[in-house]
Structure 1
């Protein structure tokens, strides 16, 4: 079986394309009646869906994986553990699931990329949801130690109250749309009209 398209997507770090590449290839192989269960890169396929935050497709794929594969390939179960945590919105446990397994070199790349993406997503969630939050809670959400998370958020402009162990969130400035001057619009319209006639 030729897994070149999957390998190419992994090599180019096009992790956002992995799920689609795997889905298309699996469909092609299935329609040809080729038995592929033992060779299929289920871990990468699951992680591809998780990377693009398509947990429904990851669940469907997990349910379709033969039980014998799940038993023989513990990495497949470890990938699904991340998916389960996302499904139940157990945000802090996502980081535990990521760190709780010794990933193969192939999977390590996409897991590390997902971890970074997920941390940024959680940071944006905290940014939009809180004005103050404890260091401990922030560390859970971002999957870092309390010291690391304090350094991370201070770099983002947050402030720390050491006595209360609370962080004050620095909100991002709201970008307002620039209003178009009606006289400029009129001149542009006249100019375009002149060019056309």
Structure 2
């Protein structure tokens, strides 16, 4: 089985393409009637789905993975633990599952990139859902130590009250572009001119 396209996507750090590359390759293999071997990159495939936030496809893939693979390949099970935490919205658990396994060299960069992306997603969730949050809760959401989480959000303009251990979320200003229709501007100018004369 030629997995060069998967290896190429990993080498180029095209992590957003991993799931599609694996899906296409899987279809090609299936169309030839070839059986999947133990060397199919199930863990990479699952992680690719998580990277693009497609837990439904990951669940379907997990159900199709033979029990023998799940028993022989702990990295596949470790990848699925991330999926389970994502599925149940156990935000802190996702970080625990990411950091709770010694990933293969092949998966390390993808897992690190997903971890960064997930932290950014959690930051955006906090930004939209909270006006204040405790430092311990913040650390759980971001998967960081309390000091690192505090530093992370302070760099983004949030404020910390050390006495109460509360962080105030700095809402980002919504930028609105005003588009001026030249015909409306012309009519307004004529109207003002008419009023003055």
Normalising by the residue count of structure 2, what TM-score does the alignment of the two structures yield? Answer: 0.91
Name the counterpart of 1:91: 91
1:8-157 mapped onto 2 (5 Å cutoff): 8-157=8-157
Shift of 1:36: 2.0
Name the counterpart of 1:161: 161
C-alpha deviations, 1:101-156, integer Å up to 9, x for none? 00001111100000000000100110111111100100000000001011111100
Measured in 1, the distance between the counterparts of 2:102 and 2:123 equals 26
> Is there any run of 5+ residues in structure 1 with no aligned partner, and where?
187-197
Measured in 1, the distance between the counterparts of 2:132 and 2:146 equals 15
| Matched position secondary structure for 2:61 | helix
Measured in 1, the distance between the counterparts of 2:27 and 2:40 equals 12
**Alignment length, in residue pairs?**
186
Shift of 1:24: 0.6
C-alpha deviations, 1:76-103, integer Å up to 9, x for none? 0000000010011111110000000000
Give the superposed CA RMSD.
1.3
Name the counterpart of 1:194: none
Shift of 1:184: 7.7
Measured in 2, the distance between the counterparts of 1:185 and 1:19 equals 50
Moved over 4 A (4+): none
| Matched position secondary structure for 2:133 | strand
Normalising by the residue count of structure 1, what TM-score does the alignment of the two structures yield? Answer: 0.91
